[in-house]
Structure 1
Amino acid sequence: MNKVIYTGGLLLCLLALGGCRSNSESDHRHEHETEGEHEHEGHGEEIIFHKEKAEAAGIEVSTVKSGTFYQVLQTSGEIMAAQGDEKTLVASVSGIVSFQTKIVEGMKVGAGSMLLRLSSNNIADGDPVQKAKVAYETSQKEFNRMQVLVKSKIVSEKEFNTARQNYETAKISYESLASGHSRYGQAIQAPISGYIKNILVKEGDYVSTGQPLMQISQNRRLFLKAEISEKDYAHLPHITTARFKTAYSPKIYSLNELNGKLLSFGKSTNGSSYFIPVTFEFDNRGDVVPGSYVEVYLQSSPIENTIAIPRSALTEEQGIYYVYLQLDEEGYAKQEVTLGTDNGEFVQITSGLKNGDRLVTKGAMHIKLASASNAIPAHSHEH
């Protein structure tokens, strides 16, 4: 009987020890899993994007670093031509375009300088200058003949006047075409001194009489007139420069890069508007159309020690903005961010990023698509 009691007690002790060991292993495993969860806390699941695919997709990564950004007033504005004459060169004859020197937009030209020639050689319609010369010489002979006949009363005064009119018209036409004409073609000269604003044709183009060839502006500067609301009046003394974006191009223009400067800002509103005008002047590089309306980002007071990232780094889902951080060579994580002021090219981040983060600045959409496809499970990636 004592032997049975002793054996039963021994079995109970062994079972108890096994349970303790099992609980200890379970607790240890739970702690390890908890540590793994805290390792990427706030990033969500890791996204695997292999290095070869990242290079092919043009993924670019940079290190986040705080610096100086600026308060921005976003508004609308208008591009206006600065004071100064502007001329459009047109083809005086039909022909093939041939540039006489290297012509580029923005270059300075003097009045009377030859820019290109229009050649009518080997054209089915023939050389218009030669045709005008024939018409002029024919009408001249007819006019000389009529001068003799009218004195003898053989022809009437009406017939004589018609002949004289035809002669004078042919003479004007021929002299106009013959000016600058040679066997190489019709010379097209700059009518004014200034800067080439737009080149509307290229070498070898066929043009018709009256077709525009290029534009020359005496002033290579344009005005940007922006309007801000009365509630932002206190910011006016701090405005120094601006960026703008046209409706016909995704490019963001910086007045600092266009040699721009602030000319003036209004001290009051007028009766028909509750907005205050702010006017800048900048170089006319030829790709901004005077008279067009633009989105304007007015740069105001500086913000020190803040993080700003390119807009290309942002993705948006239902009004919430995200970026993607690189964890290692092939691992990425989605991170929610809060946006601050925006200058059209860069945007301030008020929360969600810190100095030293490795941020995907180009190709963030590829990472987003890889995350949505779940093609490669996160647990398959080894560190």
Structure 2
Amino acid sequence: KQLSFLGISTANMSPSTIKQQIAIVAPMSGYISKINFHNGMYAQSSISLMDIISSEHLHLELDVFEKDIANIKKGQKISYTVPALGQSVYYGTVEVIGKEFNINSKTIRVHGHLEGTKPTFLKDLFINAKIYLNNEESLALPEEAIIKDGANSFIYVANEKLNDKEIEFEKIAVVTGATDNGFTAVKLIDTIPDGMQIVTKGAYYVYAQSKAGELEHEH
């Protein structure tokens, strides 16, 4: 019975099959994060020989500041990057919101499940993560496409260049929202005319030229 506990089958045991070494089979698949023994050491039943991290149950551990925790809900989407492994973006969802407050860091631990493609994780590896508070979709434009003039914001639209004619520009007022990774959410106040396209590059140049034209007109 003791041999069966070691994973040794006694059904086909014979003098020719007896070996000086036996293989210790881990109870799960994964990778070894810590080894607690050395050659010649007596392995007692009360001693953990090694620590194994299962690759099947990896999760995210995020520290959320107390002022933001009221906005966090189970099921919200998470995007994250692993700086040590590059700038690739991965995704997950909020699964468990902790109940213990960390007095030193003023944070609460949030656990997230991984979705889709997973990076090659190492234990305790630092990540940058964002939790999306809602699933609303909106038009987003590069920050350089949005012109701010005092309290007002607008974008430029232009007609396609036909027969070498000059391109005509028109301003469209917008209301700006959140900015993320160089893009800003916008809500159009006016409808974009048919045949016009949003100017995403060089908008400030167009704005500067229009202001210069206004000054020349004043003279």
The two structures have a TM-score, normalised by structure 2, of 0.48
Pick 1 or 2: higher relative contact order, CA cutoff 8 A, min separation 6.
Answer: 1
Structure index of larger Rg: 1
More helix by share: 1
The two structures have a TM-score, normalised by structure 1, of 0.31
